[in-house]
């Protein structure tokens, strides 16, 4: 090895590959010990925490669902009190939407996107750490409030006037509204990181038409988050202000309007569905390409569909408000746009079916979940086209038909791909394979359990069972279908228990995965499993949309990056031509400290407006600490 | 997997300006989502305006002078802001320091004026939905102004320390860029708050 006289000049081409690995690992690793762990800015460490936390909230939200199904299994049961039931269905919806579905998709993106685009860390790694802490604290805030009987009880959409001070004089709606603020801050931060990672940190040669489909999906999703979530932040803030300092946004006696809430909520709430669904489709495309043993057919069609879905998703929100007395023209317009969005989704489904038809499918567990997704999502899509029509919607609004519809769309469209993704990427994240045998059991329990739980709800809705009722009388004739649904829920719950068992067993004794156990084509499989702290010893050069299938014996790479400091390669937006070697931040405790200061500010401000005054200085101090250069090599180039 | 080195990037610079730098894109991202926040707030204002027969509700329109003086200062501030940008691109440290001090002072003056503007809104947040939305919008923009001022002050101090390394000039240009957004955001808000109630 030829050591240059000036240490700063040492570059990766001056080292043997073993020396290079060791050296990069020592630069990029997370410091050891408890405080080291709190300082981590490694996207893989943060991503793993994000994934595990999101699944913990899935379990909690799932337990609430089981409690509701026990209560509804028969008529006039007293297992849950009406008040508990209100809290539980609110907590279930809020947990699943805000603490599980959106975060888990972002979590996978935080872990996978930097690997897929061939870089060493996510853009703004400290913001990423901050985002995780905010999410964790917001989730804990909601759940601790629930455990001390202050769980929100006004539905996951907290409609006014029910959620106004006059009708709910407790702190419960404030807890809900401020949990929103926590999770939105977290989601917005991740979205900016993903956008910049995709725009600037792609490996040289990864032009726009070579970006993996999951990454495209996450890019579109991130833009949806950036343009949808400000709406819910304005909504939740104005709700807290109405309740705390007597603003009049939703008070009709002073010029306010309750429907303003619904507009603000659903302007966010409808894109939210696609924020959950689009990453799911990205996962489907990745899994399908690998197991159909050929690239997904219609790559440009899939991307244009994702983008079209993204735009259209902002023009549908009023279909949640069909029964509020809209002008006919408005109802017609939103019916049309609601039906229109089925077109890009349909196009994607045809691309996937064509891929399967033309490929040589290998039916492993991830592919089974994708097939389950296609079946369930198509059913959910069809009932979606039904409720897009005003007369049908008027009939089934607020009934179990709608509950059935959105569970088909959300669980079918997002959770099935997600579980498939767990089976698919678990080997990359942990280095071990999940059991295929347990995986098949897991799939069939999930598929059967899901349909037995939710299909009867269509019928219950059609025969008039309303949502959000804690019980019903025997003479309504709803008992049999409800019992069936509850039985299905038990089967569905077992499927998640099987997944958990599979994960625990495989973590200890699963077969070793190797770098690329599925013979997949994208860059995350070009490094070891689990990947080293630096992800890649040398940044790959991309010459094809499926680099590992194209360059199957030798991966082209770049040299010339520093081995003295954390350095990433920035490339141009469209052509991914190398532009700069930029420093990447070192581990730091400041994101955690900032998140703690922000948490105190947020929680304080639902009790007193003065929190804005005394809560700001600690946040400002923490932020200055965060951005002030530490004098390390990273900062002083 | 075997690797073949096909390219050497050792000669590339370690920082860039504008679209060549990561933080610039980060600032773009935050401007996009904050801009959306303003758009939603404007939408809320117009919704309340549309559903009420009288506007402003139970109050006189805001006094014009504080907002108008602010507009003038904001527009004029673009000149020193752009000059700071140019000297930062030339990496002229003394002039960058001077530019940042001027921009910090402008921020402080605007923040003080903002206090007067709140006092001259002629309504309180709890008077009516009209009062609520004007306080919300003005509060939102004031938060922007205050955070940008904080950022500018910290950067100014930083440029007087040993940390004033070449790559910090890129941070200065990003700060300049963000200030333009604060200015640009104020113009429609000024029309909305001060002139729409006079329609």
> For A178-227, how does the pLDDT look when each residue is reduced to its tens digit (9 = 90+)?
999 999 999 999 999 999 999 999 999 999 999 999 999 999 999 999 99
Partner B contacted by A314 (CB < 8 A): no
Whole-Å CA distances, A378 to A228, A284, A287, A348: 25, 14, 18, 11
Closest CA to A595 of A138, A254, A2: A138
pLDDT at A328: 85
> A595-619 pLDDT, tens per residue?
999 999 999 999 999 999 999 999 9
**pLDDT value of position A637:** 52
pLDDT in tens, A51-103: 999 999 999 999 999 999 999 999 999 999 999 999 999 999 999 999 999 99
Chain B within 8 Å of A627 (Cβ-Cβ)?
yes
Tell me what pLDDT residue B92 has: 95
Judging contacts by C-beta atoms under 8 Å, the chain A residues touching residue B166 are 637
- 3-class secondary structure, A381: helix
Q: What pLDDT, on a 0 to 100 scale, did the predictor assign at position A297?
A: 96
Q: How many residues does chain B have?
A: 199
Are B26 and A123 within 8 A, CB to CB?
yes
Please answer yes or no on whether A578 and B5 come within 8 Å at the CB atom: no
Q: Give the position of tokens 């659903």.
A: A266
| A533/chain B closest Cα distance in angstroms | 18
Mean pLDDT computed over A558-570: 93
**Chain A residues within 8 A of B17 when measuring between CB atoms:** none
Q: How far apart are CA A469 and CA A467, in angstroms?
A: 6
Q: Do A238 and B44 touch (CB under 8 A)?
A: yes
| DSSP track, A527-544 | S-SSPPTTS-SS-B---S
What is the chain B residue with the closest CA to A249? B129
For residue A254, list chain B residues with Cβ-Cβ distance below 8 A.
57, 127-129
Among A345, A353, A350, which residue's Cα sits nearest to residue A288? Answer: A353
Question: What is the token pair recorded at B150?
Answer: 């904080």
Q: Give the list of residues 6+ apart from residue A278 with CB closer than 8 angstroms, or none.
A: A217, A218, A220, A221, A224, A306, A309, A310
Q: Which stretches does DSSP call E strand in A372-502? A: none
Chain B residues closer than 8 Å to A553 by CB = 2
For residue range A221-268, list pLDDT tens digits in order: 999 999 999 999 999 999 999 999 999 999 999 999 999 999 999 999
Note the pLDDT of residue A7.
Answer: 47
Between B25, B126, B150, which is nearest A248 by CB?
A: B126
CA dist., res. A200 & res. A455, Å (int): 45
In this structure, are residues A232 and A180 in contact, taking their beta carbons and an 8 Å threshold?
A: yes
Does position A5 have pLDDT exceeding 60, yes or no? no
Q: Which of A523, A190, A11 is nearest to B14 (CA)?
A: A11
- The mean per-residue pLDDT over the stretch B73-101 comes to 97
CB pairs under 8 A between A and B: 202
Structure tokens at B159: 């440029």
Chain B residues with beta carbon closer than 8 angstroms to that of A629: 158, 163
Q: Mean per-residue pLDDT for A141-154?
A: 96
d(CA A129, CA A268): 25
Contact A580 B16 (CB under 8 A): yes
Is the CB of residue A110 less than 8 Å from the CB of residue A43? yes
pLDDT class for A9, splitting at 50, 70, 90? low
Q: Which tokens in the block code for residue A446?
A: 């999930």
Which of A229, A241, A260 faces B48 most closely, judged by CB atoms? A260
Give the closest-approach CA distance of B12 to chain A in angstroms: 5
CB A622 within 8 A of CB A597: yes
The answer to whether the CB of A564 falls within 8 A of the CB of A539 is no
Mean pLDDT of the residues in chain B: 95
State both tokens at A404.
């059935």
Q: How many angstroms separate the CA atoms of A489 and A533, rounded?
A: 41
- For A347-351, which contacts have Cβ atoms below 8 Å and span 24 or more sequence positions? A347/A298, A347/A301, A347/A302, A347/A305, A348/A281, A348/A301, A348/A302, A348/A305, A348/A306, A349/A374, A349/A377, A349/A378, A350/A298, A351/A296, A351/A297, A351/A298, A351/A301, A351/A302, A351/A305
Q: Which residue of B has its CA nearest to A571?
A: B20
Strand partners, A557: A540, B5
Most A CBs within 10 Å: which of B15, B19, B25, as the mutation test of the A interface? B25
State residue A553's pLDDT score: 78
- The answer to whether the beta carbons of residues A306 and A211 sit under 8 Å apart is no
CA distance A90 to A98: 12
Q: Determine the pLDDT at residue A10.
A: 76
What is the C-alpha to C-alpha distance for residues B161 and B174, in angstroms, rounded to an integer?
A: 19
Which residues of B are less than 8 Å from A11 in CB distance? 10
Window 376-415 of A, Cβ < 8 Å to B: none
pLDDT surpassing 70 at residue A304: yes
- Inter-chain CB proximity A636 and B8 less than 8 Å: no
DSSP secondary structure of A8-70? GG-BGGGS-HHHHHHHHHHHHSPPSHHHHHHH---HHHHHHHHHHHHHHHHHHHHHHHHHHHH
Lowest mean pLDDT among A353-367, A433-447, B1-15, B148-162: B1-15
At residue B107's C-alpha, the angle toward residues B105 and B108, to 5°, is: 65
> What mean pLDDT comes out for the span B66-74?
97
> Which residue in B3, B26, B59, B162 has the most chain A C-beta atoms within 10 A of its own C-beta, making it the best mutation to test that interface?
B3
- Cross-strand partners of A540: A557
Distance (Å, rounded) from C-alpha B154 to C-alpha B168?
Answer: 12
pLDDT, one tens digit per residue, over A451-477 is 999 999 999 999 999 999 999 999 999
- DSSP 8-state code for residue A169: -
Among the partner-chain residues B3, B8, B44, the one whose CB lies closest to the CB of A260 is: B44
Measure CA A150 to chain center.
Answer: 26
Select from A245, A248, A527 the residue whose CB has the most chain B CBs within 10 Å, as the one to mutate to test that interface.
A248
Does A256 contact B25 at a Cβ distance shorter than 8 Å? no
Of B121, B124, B109, B123, nearest to B70 by C-alpha is B109
């Amino acid at each position: 090895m030829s050591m240059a006289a000036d240490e700063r000049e040492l570059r990766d081409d001056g080292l043997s590959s073993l020396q290079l690995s060791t050296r990069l690992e020592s630069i990029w690793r997370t410091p050891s010990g408890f405080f080291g762990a709190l300082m981590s800015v490694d996207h893989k460490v943060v991503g793993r925490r994000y994934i595990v936390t999101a699944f913990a909230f899935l379990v909690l939200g799932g337990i609430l669902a089981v409690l509701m199904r026990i209560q509804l299994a028969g008529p006039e049961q007293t297992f849950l009190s009406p008040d508990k039931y209100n809290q539980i269905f609110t907590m279930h919806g809020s947990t699943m939407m805000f603490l599980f579905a959106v975060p888990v998709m972002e979590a996978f993106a935080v872990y996978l996107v930097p690997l897929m685009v061939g870089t060493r860390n996510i853009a703004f790694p400290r913001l990423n750490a901050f985002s995780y802490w905010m999410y964790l604290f917001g989730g804990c805030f909601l759940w601790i409030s629930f455990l001390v009987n202050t769980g929100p009880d006004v539905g996951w959409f907290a409609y006014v006037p029910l959620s106004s001070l006059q009708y709910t004089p407790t702190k419960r709606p404030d807890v809900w509204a401020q949990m929103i603020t926590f999770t939105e801050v977290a989601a917005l931060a991740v979205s900016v990181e993903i956008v910049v990672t995709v725009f600037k940190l792609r490996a040289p040669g990864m032009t726009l038409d070579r970006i993996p489909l999951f990454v495209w999906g996450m890019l579109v999703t991130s833009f949806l988050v950036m343009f949808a979530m400000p709406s819910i932040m304005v909504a939740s803030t104005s709700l807290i202000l109405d309740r705390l300092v007597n603003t009049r946004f939703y008070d009709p006696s002073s010029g306010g309007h309750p429907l303003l809430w619904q507009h603000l909520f659903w302007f966010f709430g409808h894109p939210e569905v696609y924020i959950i669904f689009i990453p799911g489709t990205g996962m489907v495309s990745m899994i399908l390409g690998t197991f159909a043993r050929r690239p997904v057919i219609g790559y440009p069609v899939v991307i244009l569909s994702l983008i079209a879905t993204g735009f259209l998703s902002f023009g549908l929100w009023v279909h949640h408000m069909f029964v509020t007395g809209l002008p006919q023209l408005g109802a017609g317009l939103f019916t049309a746009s609601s039906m229109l969005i089925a077109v890009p989704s349909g196009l994607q489904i045809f691309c996937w079916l064509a891929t399967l038809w033309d490929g040589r499918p290998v039916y492993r567990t991830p592919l089974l979940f994708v097939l389950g997704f296609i079946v369930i999502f198509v059913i959910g899509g069809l009932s979606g086209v039904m409720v897009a029509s005003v007369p049908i919607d008027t009939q089934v609004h607020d009934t179990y038909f709608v509950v059935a519809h959105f569970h088909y769309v959300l669980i079918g469209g997002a959770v099935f791909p997600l579980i498939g993704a767990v089976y698919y990427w678990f080997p990359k994240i942990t280095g071990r394979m999940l059991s295929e045998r347990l995986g098949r059991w897991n799939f069939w329990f999930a598929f059967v359990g899901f349909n037995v739980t939710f299909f009867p709800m269509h019928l219950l809705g059609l025969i008039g069972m309303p949502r959000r009722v804690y019980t019903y009388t025997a003479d309504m004739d709803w008992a049999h279908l409800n019992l069936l649904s509850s039985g299905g829920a038990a089967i569905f719950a077992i499927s998640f228990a099987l997944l958990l068992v599979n994960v625990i067993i495989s973590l200890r004794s699963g077969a070793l995965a190797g770098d690329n156990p599925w013979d997949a084509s994208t860059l995350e499989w070009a490094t070891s499993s689990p990947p080293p702290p630096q992800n890649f010893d040398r940044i790959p050069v991309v010459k094809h949309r499926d680099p590992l299938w194209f360059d199957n014996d030798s991966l082209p790479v770049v040299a010339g990056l520093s081995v003295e400091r954390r350095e990433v390669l920035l490339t141009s937006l469209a052509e991914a031509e190398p532009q700069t070697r930029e420093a990447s931040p070192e581990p730091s405790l400041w994101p955690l400290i900032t998140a703690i200061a922000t948490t105190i500010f947020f929680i304080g401000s639902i009790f007193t407006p003065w929190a804005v005054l005394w809560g700001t200085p600690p946040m400002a101090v923490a932020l200055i600490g965060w951005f002030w250069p530490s004098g390390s090599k990273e900062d002083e180039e | 997997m075997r690797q073949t080195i096909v390219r050497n990037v050792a000669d590339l610079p370690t920082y860039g300006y504008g679209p060549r730098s990561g933080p610039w894109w980060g600032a773009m991202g935050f401007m996009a989502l904050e801009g959306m926040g303003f758009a939603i707030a404007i939408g809320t204002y117009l919704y309340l305006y549309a559903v009420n027969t009288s506007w402003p509700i139970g109050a006189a329109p805001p006094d014009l002078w504080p907002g108008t003086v602010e507009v003038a200062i904001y527009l004029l501030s673009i000149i020193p802001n752009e000059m700071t940008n140019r000297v930062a691109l030339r990496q002229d440290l003394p002039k960058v320091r001077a530019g940042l001090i001027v921009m910090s002072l402008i921020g402080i003056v605007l923040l003080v004026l903002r206090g007067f503007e709140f006092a001259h809104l002629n309504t309180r947040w709890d008077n009516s939905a009209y009062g609520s939305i004007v306080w919300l919008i003005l509060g939102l923009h004031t938060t922007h102004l205050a955070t940008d001022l904080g950022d500018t002050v910290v950067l100014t101090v930083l440029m007087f320390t040993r940390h004033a390394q070449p790559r910090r000039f890129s941070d200065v240009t990003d700060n300049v860029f963000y200030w333009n957004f604060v200015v640009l955001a104020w113009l429609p808000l000024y029309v909305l708050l001060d002139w729409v109630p006079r329609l």
